[in-house]
Amino acid sequence: MTSLRTMYTALLLLATIACIGVLPGCGSDANADIVGTYELDTDAVKAELAAAATESEEAAAKAEFASMLLDAMEMSITLKSDGTLDIRVRAMGDSDEQAGTWTRNGNELTITTAKEGDEPETGTVIIEGNNLRLMPDPGDDMPIEMIFQKMSS
């Protein structure tokens, strides 16, 4: 009887370890809801630009210019479950890819990217349901919040 109880206890311990994520299987990933590919939602960004354009003539000119740039741009962010990310940008016949990392704190992500030989760049991303909102740097001449919509997990 003792050996059956010992074996049962050992099996229960192994199942518990597997379920908390040490072994793949029934463990849960707290970031599973945000892992996936997001594409730039140019319509949403343009709508926000149009709303801001009513503030001043300068804001209207910046919004019009930014809207033209958005028409010629495709951008995606892929967040991977291991905390890495890929950013792809296509604009005016050129393309660029960057790799980086991300960390989550509640509904906020901190992303860090760096091209070889360059200093790392860090940005803040707000999670809003199935959307990501990439916040502009405070000192940007043309602060535009880039909105990305989740396309796949």
94 pLDDT exceeds 60? yes
Do 9 and 55 belong together in one domain? no
- Alpha helix positions (H), the chain: 2-19, 42-52, 57-71
Q: How confident is the model at residue 104 (pLDDT cuts 50, 70, 90)?
A: very high
Give pLDDT, residue 142: 64
Residue 103 CA to residue 66 CA, distance in Å, equals 29
Do 83 and 55 lie in a common domain?
yes
Summarised one tens digit per residue, pLDDT across range 2-44 is: 433 333 333 333 333 333 333 333 444 778 899 999 999 988 8
Question: In this structure, are 82 and 96 located in the same domain?
Answer: yes
6 and 42 in a common domain:
no
The proportion of the chain whose per-residue pLDDT surpasses 90, expressed as a percent, equals 35
* pLDDT band of 117, cuts 50, 70, 90: confident
**Residues 135, 106: Cα–Cα separation, whole Å:** 16
Reference 38, options 72, 5, 78, 84; nearest CA is 78
Q: DSSP state, 22?
A: S
Question: Based on the domain organization, do 87 and 17 belong to the same domain?
Answer: no
Residue 23 pLDDT: 33
Which among 65, 74, 72 has a CA at the least distance from the CA of 92?
72
Chain segment 42-51, per-residue pLDDT in tens: 888 888 888 8
Q: Coil, strand or helix: which one is 21?
A: coil
Asked if residue 42 and residue 23 are part of one domain, the reply reads no
For residue 132, give the CATH number of its domain. 2.40.128.300
How would you class 40 by CB atoms within 10 Å of its CB: exposed for 0-12, middle for 13-18, buried for 19 or more? Answer: buried
| Domain co-membership, 67 together with 47 | yes
- Inform me whether the pLDDT recorded for 102 exceeds 90: yes
Query: Do 66 and 95 share a domain, yes or no?
Result: yes
* Average pLDDT score over the chain: 78
Give the range of the structural domain holding residue 5, as residue numbers without chain letter: 1-29
- Whether 80 and 116 map to the same domain: the answer is yes
* Same-domain check for residues 13 and 45: no
Query: Structural domain tally of the chain?
Result: 2
Query: Residue 138 burial by CB count (10 A; 0-12/13-18/19+): exposed, middle or buried?
Result: exposed
